[in-house]
Structure 1
Amino acid sequence: MAGEIAQDVAVTLTLIGAAMGAGGAIASQVIAGVITDRREQRRSREEAERWKLEADAKRRDRQLDRKIELFAQLLSETQNVLNSTQMYGNLNQETAESLVAASWQVLAITEEIGILAPELHEYAQSVAKATGNTVKAFRLRDALPLGTKKRRAAAHQATRAHEGLHSWADLFRQEARSYVIHGPVTPHNDADAALTASLEAWDKKLGL
């Protein structure tokens, strides 16, 4: 900006010197025209820069909106799996198929989160893994005859998988909220260690 002003002054002085014998009125018009043109150029550049900054801000806002949408979709799909696997009886065919579809959908969402919000990718991956484990565990449970030892063992594994998914979904929700408000994200390894200890304590509480 300072350089442009100095350039304006230099041009003005040059034109004044050239115009001293050309007639005051015409020289004044020429000088005023040059200065006005340069100011308009500066104003245009400033306006273009302002629009660029606004466009960048809007683009970032659109990405944030998409991230929030992905977080909500992941939690919604996860909640559907949790709700569908709370029943004690066997899953019907339609429910089983919808759970498989949900686990694939969670994987797809996880991949996009990895691109837009890499800070939460490991958390999303853990949710996706827990979702797949839960669906697999309940389908395995349902494939075994009722009242058998294998069925009871499989039922425990299914319940444990359900508990793990619930815990990972809660952790993801907590970290996603912090991420959205630009807060810190807990290192994934710390969260993983704490959750593993919690599930082991849960096993001991049940005497398993």
Structure 2
Amino acid sequence: MAGEITQEAIALALGGAGIGAGGAIIAQIIGGILTAKREKRKAASDRELWEFEAEAKRRDRSIDEKIEVFAAILSVSESLITVIHLEPIFGEQPLSTLRTKLSELQSHVQKLSILVPELFEHADGVFQRCNVMVMITSRSHFLSDRENLHTEINPAHHEADESIKIARAAFQAYVSHKPIPPATNN
């Protein structure tokens, strides 16, 4: 019988459909497993990337803070030296202003000692030289012979300038990840 569907043909069709459907289901399962593994690797990779970027941002914030503190040290010390050098006899600049600037400088040096202990010696050298200049200037304020001030303040000014140059070089080396030169002026 040419047009009849036999049970055998139906069984073959159902068997083929079952095998095809089973194959599709198995393919879906295998595809799901492979996709899950790929997504797990991608999630781990994304997490590593996020942690790396977070650490880089933290380091950037940290270096920005260090640069800010060191710039404040240089700014305050250079302005202090300039004021003392330009007005050694203390016409307009009260001693309290110099002492306030010196306290500000000391505060920045202490903060830097916490942030970058390896640069403390350099920053402290700058503070010590500025302190000497303030002491010389303060002493001259109470002496009647102010002519000796120039002979004392000029070498102190030179030492302070040298200390600032060495400290600046040390910080630039620190930021550039190069060896830090010794603080030879202490």
TM-score (norm 2): 0.80
Deviation at 1:56, TM superposition (A): 0.8
Query: CA offsets, 1:59-83, max 9 Å, x none?
Result: 1112112222122111110111111
Deviation at 1:51, TM superposition (A): 0.9
2:164 to 169, 175, 190: 169
Which structure ranks higher in relative contact order (CA pairs < 8 Å, sequence separation ≥ 6)? 2
- Matched with 2:28 is 29
- Give distance in 1, aligned partners of 2:46 and 2:86: 61
Alignment partner of 2:185: what SS? helix
- Give distance in 2, aligned partners of 1:24 and 1:88: 94
Query: CA offsets, 1:125-157, max 9 Å, x none?
Result: 111111112111101111111xx3xx4445533
Report whether the alignment pairs 1:84 with 2:83. Answer: yes
Structure showing greater radius of gyration is 2
Q: Within 5 A, what are the aligned runs for 1:43-122?
A: 43-87=42-86, 90-92=89-91, 94-122=93-121
- Give distance in 2, aligned partners of 1:92 and 1:109: 28
Count of equivalent residues: 167
Percent identity over the alignment is 30
* Contact 2:85/2:153 (<8 A) preserved: no
Please list every run of 5 or more consecutive structure 1 residues that lacks an aligned counterpart in the other structure. 1-19, 194-208
Alignment partner of 1:172: what SS? helix
- Matched with 2:175 is 180
Alignment partner of 2:51: what SS? helix
RMSD: 2.2
| Deviates further, 75-84 or 163-172 | 163-172
- Give distance in 1, aligned partners of 2:94 and 2:170: 30
